[in-house]
């Protein structure tokens, strides 16, 4: 690749990711708006539906988000009646997030959303699945290299 081409926006993997992530997120918005959830709140709920009673720390590791993002977001979910936050009695430094009945019930209203969104991409399921695996791999590799940089 020539010196010039290397900086072309369309040759940047980072920009392809950045733009694509935002476009896909936009597809979720109309569905999530109906439920009063933002996209980040939605993925947070996905984790909680998988693993209830989880420390903020673990939630952050799962979502690649820190407390600066999660604390205000979780306060909003709590204000909406979907979760409860309480200190871990065994270790008061830790805050445990727990679903309310209402929070648990919301899962059934969300079940169809991923399919509806994927349909709009009009790509074969297999291709989407492959893409997802490649992204996981890349994310993991980067994450590993970040940890190894802590030496």
Where along the sequence are the contacts to its own copies (CB under 8 A)?
3, 6-28, 39, 43, 46-47, 49-50, 62-64, 107, 110-111, 114-115, 117-118, 120-123, 127-128, 131-132, 134-139, 141-143, 145-146
Length of the chain counted residue by residue: 151
Contacts (CB under 7 A) with DNA, residues 44-63? 55-57, 60
Contact partner at residue 84 from its own copies, DNA, none, CB < 5 to 8 Å by partner kind: none
Nearest to 56, CA basis, from 8, 17, 12, 88: 88
Contact partner at residue 76 from DNA, its own copies, none, CB < 5 to 8 Å by partner kind: DNA
Q: Which CB, 12 or 91, lies closer to its own copies?
A: 12
- CA–chain centroid gap for 47, Å, is 8
Long-range contacts of 93-97 (CB under 8 A, 24+ apart): 94/55, 94/56, 94/57, 95/55, 95/56, 96/53, 96/54, 96/55, 96/56, 97/48, 97/53, 97/54, 97/55, 97/56, 97/59
Nearest to 61, CA basis, from 114, 134, 139, 138: 139
In the list 7, 11, 20, 22, the residue contacting DNA (rule: CB under 7 A) is: 22
Contact partner at residue 85 from DNA, its own copies, none, CB < 5 to 8 Å by partner kind: DNA
Q: Which residues bind DNA (CB under 7 A)?
A: 18, 22, 25-26, 29, 38-41, 55-57, 60, 64-74, 76, 85, 90-95
């Amino acid at each position: 690749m020539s010196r010039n081409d290397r900086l072309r926006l369309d040759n940047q993997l980072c920009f392809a990711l950045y733009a694509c992530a935002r476009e896909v997120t936009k597809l979720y918005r109309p569905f999530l708006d109906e439920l009063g959830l933002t996209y980040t709140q939605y993925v947070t709920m996905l984790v909680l539906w998988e693993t209830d009673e989880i420390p903020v720390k673990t939630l952050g590791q799962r979502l690649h988000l820190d407390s600066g993002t999660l604390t205000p977001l979780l306060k909003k979910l709590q204000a909406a009646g979907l979760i409860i936050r309480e200190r871990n009695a065994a270790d008061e430094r830790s805050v445990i997030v727990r679903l309310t009945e209402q929070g648990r019930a919301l899962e059934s209203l969300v079940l169809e959303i991923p399919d509806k969104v994927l349909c709009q991409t009009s790509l074969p399921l297999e291709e989407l699945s492959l893409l997802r695996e490649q992204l996981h791999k890349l994310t993991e590799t980067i994450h590993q290299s970040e940890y190894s940089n802590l030496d």
